[in-house]
């Protein structure tokens, strides 16, 4: 049988993991994604229509028109049967076939060699090189994920005792051994006031999907939190979907392996600024490319909950994922745009490098975070604010030192979108490259020094007795913007959907954005207008609502 390498499937060896020499044992699932029966139409003609002028296709219409052809599904199912693999689930609407089998069977079917590695104290499956498919499936199969389950994303919250400063939002805050005092931080409702979120709106009638790649929450603790800040607790539920994860809260918010802080930050920020909205949390089994794609696919096709806003606070450097994963996720984000869903994505917390300074995989160059770098994501960068009595006195780029601050820069994977053609996106730096998609699009408060008061696993943030500052990170900005979009959608009476082209077309005179002109994130500096640190700026919610109306 002639085999051809699946385009974009190349995986590199994990440089900071040790191979055990063992083949993975037992059966596990693999997801095969399939081409659309009909390609999505261009969004160009509709891109600049105001939300009230747009008519989006329904999720059911999208699945029928732009799902996979049943004949293509049968081809993959036949290949699986001939390879000793079992079909667990097949969905034309989701363009997915879920297979189950052993490592040996997958090795034979896809021409790979799966091996166990020990990475950060746990065993993972991994492969090197390409995935191979029989000729008859070339062009039919668009991606195969799950053979390798290494993480491709991490949460983007930040709790840094040694660098959190209650600074006067200086342009270049310096790191110190220990802060002189623990910043008091702000409630998310405080931040919504700073940014003039439309006061007459609270997100009633809207549903926000919160995507999580681990962790969990306790409903009683959420109620305690919302009561403590004087906000009516929103309706929070957990989505159930095939191949999904579970709400699995840990017990120690200070454990770096416990992503509960991410989950609670997302829910508490979105729920505080849009308490009238329904929040549906979608848990994936892990942070692998298979799980990330699977949970996003589930959100887009969830006609029961029908969320029209998504908050994603997870991501990783573009260089850390295969191009098949990036292309497939970008296709899902395009689907979201067509059904009227706005997807808010954190831009990362490691400055222009998008890697921790001591990360063994860092090549010393600048990177942007994915999926924030997709042109169909609303990429959310971070600022540091100084404020009192509900008013911001100063706001600068969040940057606490090398590789510690808002992500942002220029993509290596996605070309410059039409809506950024007049944004003066610079060429990529370090290494030099062409003008491509610029990140982020918008910004909001993210610095631990002006961060958020939250409650997680019975631990309050901030906590002066424990030396803990408020929680920061661009993880807070994605749910903040998701809550703002919920309020805007409520006022518009319909989903805003794909907002990026509209936001870039709003005149500066509208006052819809606070232009951030001070600070840098390492390789890029803030300036007048759009910049690769804070995008168009932080919002003035009332003016933004008027502009979109």
CB 380 within 8 A of CB 372: yes
Whole-model pTM over 0.85: yes
Q: Which of 148, 212, 262, 349 is catalytic?
A: 262
**Angle made by CA atoms 498, 500, 501, in degrees to the nearest 5:** 100
Write out the DSSP string of 335-387.
Answer: HHHHTT-EEEEE--SBTTTTS-TT-TT--SS---EETTTSTTSEEEEEEEEEE
CA distances from 163 to 87, 173, 477 (A): 51, 9, 20
Q: For residue 266, indicate whether it is catalytic.
A: yes
Tell me the two tokens of residue 22: 């063992």
> What is the number of alpha carbons within 13 Å of residue 395 lying toward its C-beta?
25
CA 493 to chain centre: 26
CA 476 to chain centre: 11
The Cα 497–Cα 441 span in angstroms is: 15
Please tell me the predicted confidence (pLDDT) of residue 166: 57
Q: Which of 212, 266, 289, 441 is catalytic?
A: 266
Beta strands 3-5 and 454-456 are unpaired
71: Cβ contacts below 8 Å, ≥ 6 apart:
none
Residues in the chain: 549
388: Cβ contacts below 8 Å, ≥ 6 apart:
none
Tell me the two tokens of residue 175: 């790191």
Beta strands 207-212 and 278-283 are parallel
The Cα 195–Cα 152 span in angstroms is: 33
Please tell me the predicted confidence (pLDDT) of residue 547: 96
| Cβ atoms < 10 Å from Cβ of 107 | 17
Q: Which helix (H) or strand (E) holds 227?
A: helix 219-228
Tell me the two tokens of residue 287: 């942070």
Query: Tens digit of pLDDT for each residue in 186-206?
Result: 999 999 999 999 999 999 999
**Domain map (residue ranges) of the chain:** 3-145, 154-548
Please tell me the predicted confidence (pLDDT) of residue 357: 77
Q: Which of 9, 143, 352, 475 is catalytic?
A: 475
Q: Residue 147 region, left (φ>0) first, then alpha (ψ -120 to 50), else beta?
A: alpha
The Cα 224–Cα 247 span in angstroms is: 18
Tell me the two tokens of residue 507: 């005149």
The Cα 333–Cα 375 span in angstroms is: 9
Ranges of the chain whose pLDDT falls below 50: 172-179
Q: For residue 262, indicate whether it is catalytic.
A: yes
Fold classification of 154-548 (topology level): Rossmann fold (3.40.50)
């Amino acid at each position: 049988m002639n085999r051809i390498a699946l385009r974009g499937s190349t995986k590199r060896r994990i440089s900071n993991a040790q191979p055990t020499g063992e083949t993975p044992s037992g059966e596990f699932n693999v997801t095969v994604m399939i081409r659309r029966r009909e390609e999505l139409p261009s969004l160009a003609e509709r891109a600049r229509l105001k939300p009230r002028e747009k008519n989006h296709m329904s999720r059911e219409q999208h699945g029928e028109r732009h799902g996979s052809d049943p004949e293509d599904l049968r081809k993959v199912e036949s290949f699986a049967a001939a390879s000793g693999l079992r079909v667990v689930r097949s969905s034309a609407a989701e363009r997915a076939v879920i297979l189950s089998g052993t490592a040996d069977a997958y090795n034979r079917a896809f021409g790979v060699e799966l091996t166990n590695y020990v990475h950060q104290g746990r065993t993972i499956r991994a492969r090197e090189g390409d995935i191979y498919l029989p000729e008859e499936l070339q062009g039919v199969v668009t991606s195969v994920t799950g053979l390798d389950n290494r993480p491709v994303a991490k949460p983007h919250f930040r709790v840094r005792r040694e660098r959190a400063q209650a600074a006067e939002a200086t342009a270049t805050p310096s790191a110190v051994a220990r802060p002189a005092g623990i910043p008091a931080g702000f409630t998310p409702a405080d931040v919504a006031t700073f940014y003039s979120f439309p006061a007459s709106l609270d997100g009633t009638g809207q549903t926000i999907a919160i995507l999580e790649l681990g962790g969990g929450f306790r409903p009683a603790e959420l109620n305690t939190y919302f009561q403590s800040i004087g906000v009516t607790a929103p309706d929070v539920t957990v989505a159930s979907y095939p191949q999904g994860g579970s709400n699995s809260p840990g017990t120690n918010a200070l454990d770096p392996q416990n992503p509960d802080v991410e989950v609670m930050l997302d829910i508490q920020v979105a729920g505080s600024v849009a308490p009238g909205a329904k929040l549906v949390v979608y848990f994936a089994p892990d942070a692998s490319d298979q799980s990330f794609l699977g949970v996003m696919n589930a959100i887009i096709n969830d006609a029961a909950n029908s969320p029209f806003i998504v908050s994603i606070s997870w991501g990783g450097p573009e260089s850390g994922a295969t191009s098949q994963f990036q292309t497939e996720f970008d296709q899902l984000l395009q689907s979201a745009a067509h059904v009227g869903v706005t997807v808010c994505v954190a831009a990362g917390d490691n400055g222009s490098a998008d890697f921790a300074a001591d990360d063994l995989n860092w090549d010393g160059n600048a990177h942007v975070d994915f999926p924030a770098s997709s042109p169909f994501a609303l990429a959310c960068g971070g600022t540091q604010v100084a404020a009192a009595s509900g008013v911001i006195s100063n706001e600068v780029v969040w940057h606490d030192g090398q590789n510690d601050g808002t992500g942002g820069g220029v993509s290596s994977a996605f070309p410059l979108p039409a809506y950024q053609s007049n944004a003066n996106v610079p060429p990529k730096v370090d290494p030099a490259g062409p003008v491509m998609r610029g990140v982020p699009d918008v910004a909001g408060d993210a610095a631990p020094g002006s961060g958020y008061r939250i409650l997680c696993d019975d631990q309050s943030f901030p906590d002066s007795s424990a030396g803990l500052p408020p929680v920061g990170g661009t993880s807070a900005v994605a749910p903040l913007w998701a809550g703002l979009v919920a309020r805007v959608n409520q006022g518009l009476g319909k989903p805003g959907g794909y907002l990026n082209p509209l936001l870039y077309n709003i005149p500066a005179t509208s006052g819809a954005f606070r232009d951030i002109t001070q600070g840098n994130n390492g390789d890029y500096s803030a300036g007048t207008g759009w910049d690769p640190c804070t995008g168009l700026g932080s919002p003035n919610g009332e003016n933004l609502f008027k502009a979109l109306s």
